[in-house]
Amino acid sequence: MERAMKLPQRVASMPFRFHGGIAALVALLVFNAFFTPNFLQLQTLFVNISQVATIAIVAMGMTLVIATGGIDLSVGAVMALAGALAPLIFLSDLGSANPMLGVTLAIVLPLFIAGLCGVFNGVMVAVLNVQPIVATLILFISGRGIAQVLTNGNLQTFSNPSFSYLGTGKVLGLPFQGWLALAIACVLFWVITRTTWGRYLLAIGGNERAAYLSGGPVRRVKIGAYVICAVLAGLAGLIVVAINSASDAARNGNLMELDAIAAAVVGGALLQGGRAPIFGAILGAVIIQLVKYTLLANGVEDEVALIAKAVIIILAVWVQQFRRA
Amino acid sequence: MNALVSMSGIEKSFAGVPALSQANLEIAPGEVHALIGQNGAGKSTMIKVLTGVYDRDAGDVHLAGVPSRISTPREAQESGIATIYQELNLVPLRSVTENIIMGYEPKRLGFLVDWREGNMRAREVLMRFGIDIDVTEPLGNFSTAIQQLVAIARAVSLDAKLVIMDEPTSSLDASEVEVLFGVVRELKKQGVSVLYVSHFLDELFQICDRVTTMRDGRTVSTRNVQDTTKLEMIADMLGRNKDEIAADGLTDFAGAKAKKGDIVLRADSVSTGPRLTHFDLTLHRGEIVGLGGLLGSGRTEAARALFGVDGKRSGAIELHGVVGQPSGPGDAIVNGVGFLTEDRKAEGIIPDMSVRENMTLALLPKLASRGQIDFAREREIVQAFIDDLGIKAAHMDQPIRELSGGNQQKVLLARWLATQPDILILDEPTRGVDVGAKREIQSFIRSYVEKGFGVVLISSEFEELVEGADRIVVMHEGRSVKELTNPGVTENILVRALAHHEEGTGSWNAQ
């Protein structure tokens, strides 16, 4: 009587959460090993890690917001805003006079401002009950605008080795930001699995009403998720600026919200909330990065790469549908 | 006469655990057939096998004498089996007509929907059941009952031969139930069979022809409703002797009543809005105070006020002698109040979380030091409650959605017992729960009260209130109007108290 299960059901019933993602990753690696020239070289690894770190960092924050059943469209704009602020601070008179203080402030202040953006998003969503997609659309539009006003729409270039360490430094031969992403992942994983905040986060995404009636601090936890997401986006913005030794408010973090959402979903986050696979977000980011890289290295145009990304998202959502059923 | 549906020797296991073994079900054409059993007895699994949601492991299904080929819900629909679920799968924002004709719209010129024809058909189908509503209005504007009837009308318009109704009356009030019964009788008259799943045994006597009882995945009996009694059905469901049950009384509340202690809670003419205008209550340690009243009388609103969910506009609430309303659920919990909500799905369980995580949700602040959860203690507490309350789960990390309704309810009860509240508010604690779990839950409540805690019990079942509560506060249209004190309260006295205050408004079912 037992009919053979359909493929996606079989994939979905596998014990390991990331199954589909892991399979995709392996396929990409194998393909590249055979077809992409010079793929198996340290330089390739280095380039990919330095590029994937920003997506991964933003995707982890996005995963937290998605876990509450929300979404944050403003991450790209917050990146631009934080990225625009940093050079302004260390290039200012105060920053030039005290290089150490300048660089410290150039990291701390933009992250603080990013955090305020998160508070804004969180309050809109959790207190004023605005739909997350609409609430974060406000900063999605205005955040980049503010960044461009701050920089008069100019490209700011600079030479500041201590600040650039964020994007070009090496630890044990691998990019600093890669280690940073990994460290953030470990901390967030601990927070989600071990703390009351993490438990409430998942409970709110699973059934907000029940979480509230059980005494869960729904507003605080939701605002917290948006703040962490925004601060991580700010950090990613700083890293991009540090990599380029230049801040371009028009392009920094452009379309990042889509990459981050895609990475989170590919990593196993459910858009209706209740699940926060942090390492899944990293896996998702790596897959998206590798697809981009594979197509680029094999001479496929950017436009086609966008289509490929869409296909990945469709596949991820498809597998998710059956996993729930 | 050939049976419309005949299922025999059905077997179905989930991950090696049998859910159905040698289950049988036979439905005659034009028959209203009840399917009853405790939660987890296999009723839903049986229905899902019939409608192609699950594949069976073994057994035969025949439709009108022909082996069934149904393997998806869609195919079931096409073979004339319509299922009306508790959660309706209709579109509330679209019109009644659209909901009825969806997927089968009459067309003009091959592609334009012919609305005039559609509206006419929708009206016609509804009129057959004596329902006269404006079919162009959005479905969401009508009551749950009407929406349910629209779902049934849709099924009938698709030429259903069998309509499966899963707990159709659980969210209806008395007058709506009457309308639904009218529809069921009408279906029967038209030769359509109905498979009727319900926990409310009294209903079966009004509309059902035969009743099949299931227990532990097996079919225990099929009886003619005419020739059986409520007691006999309960005995079948529980697998117990009916004389034994008769001697016991129907609830497990009865027993030594504890002595009253100090006052832990006092509400003095509390109002929160139009639905709760004047509420008085005094609760002592060691007593159960019942809130009785019809649907919409303000019972749940009173509970929400005490728990700090709805802010009060006037009046005073006093907890442990301190005046002040909790600012919200979190604050209420800290002040020793617990609130088991009425709607288990919408306000209780977090479906994807485990039994363990669900049970400790309200206790979480006390389980943590500096934000970090003490897992060892959590597991210890959860295991203790699983053992005490006899919760049937594979293990404490099983998702709660996989548990039966009765076991889910026990987990939620444990969620509140774990916080050891001085005041535990229970809103319909045994609704939608099978007879066995119901008795267990009632006895836990009684033993909790005997330890010196106070309970506010809200229940629509007079039996439960009369046998369970030490005192009953009768509510009517947002006001507490009368107080009855046990011993001495009977169902008749309670009904009279309710009815007395209904006289002014004319109709018993005025909502």
Asked if B333 is an interface residue toward chain A (Cβ–Cβ < 8 A), one would say: yes
Query: Which ipTM was obtained for this model?
Result: 0.85
DSSP A243-277: HHTEE-TTTTTTTHHHHHHHHHHHTT--TTSS---
Contact B8, B2 (CB under 8 A): no
pLDDT recorded at residue B505: 38
Q: Which of B99, B41, B354 is nearest to B219 (CA)?
A: B41
Chain-centre distance of CA B312, in angstroms?
29
Classify the phi-psi angles of B122: left when phi > 0, otherwise alpha if psi is within -120 to 50, otherwise beta. Answer: alpha
Bridge partners of B485, per DSSP, are B471
Asked if B349 is an interface residue toward chain A (Cβ–Cβ < 8 A), one would say: yes
Burial class of residue A114, CB neighbours in 10 A (0-12, 13-18, 19+): buried
Kindly report the nearest CA distance between residue B347 and chain A, in angstroms: 4
In a domain, A229, yes or no: yes
CB contact under 8 A, A206 and B353: yes
Tokens of A110: 């933009």
Nearest CA in chain A to B413: A214
- Give the separation between CA A42 and CA A62, rounded to whole angstroms: 30
Asked if B89 is an interface residue toward chain A (Cβ–Cβ < 8 A), one would say: no
CB atoms within 10 A of CB B16: 5
Angle at B200 between CA B194 and CA B205, to 5 degrees: 60
Q: Cα dihedral angle (A100, A101, A107, A110), rounded to 10 degrees?
A: -150
Q: Where are the domains of chain B?
A: 5-247, 249-336+421-433+454-511, 345-420
Classify the phi-psi angles of B491: left when phi > 0, otherwise alpha if psi is within -120 to 50, otherwise beta. Answer: alpha
CB contact under 8 A, B349 and A207: yes
pLDDT recorded at residue B17: 74
Nearest CA in chain B to A205: B350
Contact B328, B308 (CB under 8 A): yes
Kindly report the nearest CA distance between residue B420 and chain A, in angstroms: 14
Q: Cα dihedral angle (B483, B487, B491, B495), rounded to 10 degrees?
A: -20
CB pairs under 8 A between A and B: 83
Contact A275, A67 (CB under 8 A): yes
Contacts with A, B 387-446, CB within 8 Å: 415
Asked if B368 is an interface residue toward chain A (Cβ–Cβ < 8 A), one would say: yes
Asked if B34 is an interface residue toward chain A (Cβ–Cβ < 8 A), one would say: no
CB contact under 8 A, A199 and B58: no
pLDDT tens digits in sequence order for chain A, 325 residues long: 334 444 444 444 444 444 677 888 888 888 888 888 888 888 888 888 988 999 999 999 999 999 999 999 999 999 999 999 999 998 888 888 888 899 999 999 999 999 999 999 999 999 999 999 999 999 999 999 999 999 888 888 888 888 989 988 889 888 999 999 999 999 999 999 999 999 999 999 999 999 999 999 999 999 999 999 999 999 999 999 999 999 998 889 988 999 999 899 888 888 888 889 999 999 999 988 888 888 888 888 878 877 887 887 787 777 766 655 4
Could you list the residue range(s) of the whole structural domain that residue A305 is in?
Answer: 48-324
In a domain, A60, yes or no: yes
Kindly report the nearest CA distance between residue B359 and chain A, in angstroms: 10
Asked if B159 is an interface residue toward chain A (Cβ–Cβ < 8 A), one would say: no
Asked if B351 is an interface residue toward chain A (Cβ–Cβ < 8 A), one would say: yes
Contacts of A194 in chain B (CB under 8 A): 372-373
β-strand pairing of B372-373 with B423-427: unpaired
- Amino acid identity of A50? S
CB contact under 8 A, B351 and A203: no
Q: Which of B245, B222, B226, B168 is nearest to B200 (CA)?
A: B168
Specify the 3-state DSSP secondary structure of B1.
coil
- Give the separation between CA A129 and CA A218, rounded to whole angstroms: 12
Contacts of A203 in chain B (CB under 8 A): 350, 353, 357, 361
C-alpha count within 13 angstroms, C-beta hemisphere, residue A146:
19
CB contact under 8 A, A3 and B71: yes
Nearest CA in chain A to B341: A213
Mutate which of B49, B350, B372 to test chain A, going by most A C-beta atoms within 10 A?
A: B350
pTM of the shown model: 0.74
CB contact under 8 A, A213 and B309: yes
Mutate which of B55, B364, B382 to test chain A, going by most A C-beta atoms within 10 A?
A: B364
Contacts of A200 in chain B (CB under 8 A): 364
CB contact under 8 A, A215 and B332: yes
Tokens of B368: 């943590």
Kindly report the nearest CA distance between residue A135 and chain B, in angstroms: 24
In a domain, A131, yes or no: yes
Contacts with B, A 262-291, CB within 8 Å: 274-275
In a domain, A263, yes or no: yes
Asked if B88 is an interface residue toward chain A (Cβ–Cβ < 8 A), one would say: no
> Mean pLDDT in each 10-residue stretch from start to end of chain B (511 residues)?
86 82 92 85 88 89 88 85 74 84 76 85 82 85 80 80 84 76 88 87 88 90 89 78 61 56 89 87 91 79 92 89 89 93 89 94 92 93 93 90 88 94 92 81 89 90 84 87 82 72 40 32
Angle at B94 between CA B90 and CA B95, to 5 degrees: 100
Residues 6+ apart with CB under 8 A from A317: A265
CB contact under 8 A, B361 and A211: yes
What are B257-288's pLDDT values in tens digits? 546 778 899 999 999 887 888 999 999 998 99
In a domain, A30, yes or no: no
Contacts of A215 in chain B (CB under 8 A): 329-330, 332-334, 361-362, 364-365
pLDDT recorded at residue B473: 92
Angle at B332 between CA B331 and CA B333, to 5 degrees: 90
In a domain, A39, yes or no: no
Residue B416 vs residues A273, B19, B290, B404, B409: alpha-carbon distances, Å: 25, 30, 18, 19, 11
What Rg, from alpha-carbon coordinates, does chain A have? 20
- Amino acid identity of B187? L
Residues 6+ apart with CB under 8 A from B392: B40, B403, B404, B407
- Give the separation between CA B408 and CA B355, rounded to whole angstroms: 8
Residue A163 vs residues A159, A184, A209, A303: alpha-carbon distances, Å: 9, 19, 45, 33
Tokens of A9: 């059901």
Contacts of B57 in chain A (CB under 8 A): 1-2
Q: Which of B364, B419, B366, B409 is nearest to B389 (CA)?
A: B409
Residue B100 vs residues A15, B84, B89, B116, B187: alpha-carbon distances, Å: 42, 13, 12, 14, 17
Burial class of residue B236, CB neighbours in 10 A (0-12, 13-18, 19+): buried
pLDDT recorded at residue B252: 60
Angle at B222 between CA B219 and CA B225, to 5 degrees: 140
**Domain B5-247 carries which CATH code?**
3.40.50.300
3-state secondary structure B409-435: HHHHHHHHHCCCCCEEEEECCCCCCCH
Kindly report the nearest CA distance between residue B90 and chain A, in angstroms: 19
Domain count, chain A: 1
pLDDT recorded at residue A286: 93
Kindly report the nearest CA distance between residue A86 and chain B, in angstroms: 33
Asked if B12 is an interface residue toward chain A (Cβ–Cβ < 8 A), one would say: no
In a domain, A121, yes or no: yes
- Give the separation between CA A318 and CA A24, rounded to whole angstroms: 14
Q: Which of A163, A182, A231 is nearest to A53 (CA)?
A: A182
Specify the 3-state DSSP secondary structure of A86.
helix
CATH code of the domain covering residue A285? 1.10.3470
Asked if A301 is an interface residue toward chain B (Cβ–Cβ < 8 A), one would say: no
Side by side, which strands form the sheet with B288-292?
B337-340, B423-427, B454-458, B288-292, B471-476, B479-485
Nearest CA in chain B to A193: B373
Contacts of A2 in chain B (CB under 8 A): 55, 57
What are B87-129's pLDDT values in tens digits? 566 788 888 888 888 777 777 777 788 888 888 888 888 887 7
CATH topology of domain B249-336+421-433+454-511: Rossmann fold (3.40.50)
- Give the separation between CA B145 and CA B129, rounded to whole angstroms: 13
In a domain, A179, yes or no: yes
pLDDT recorded at residue B159: 79
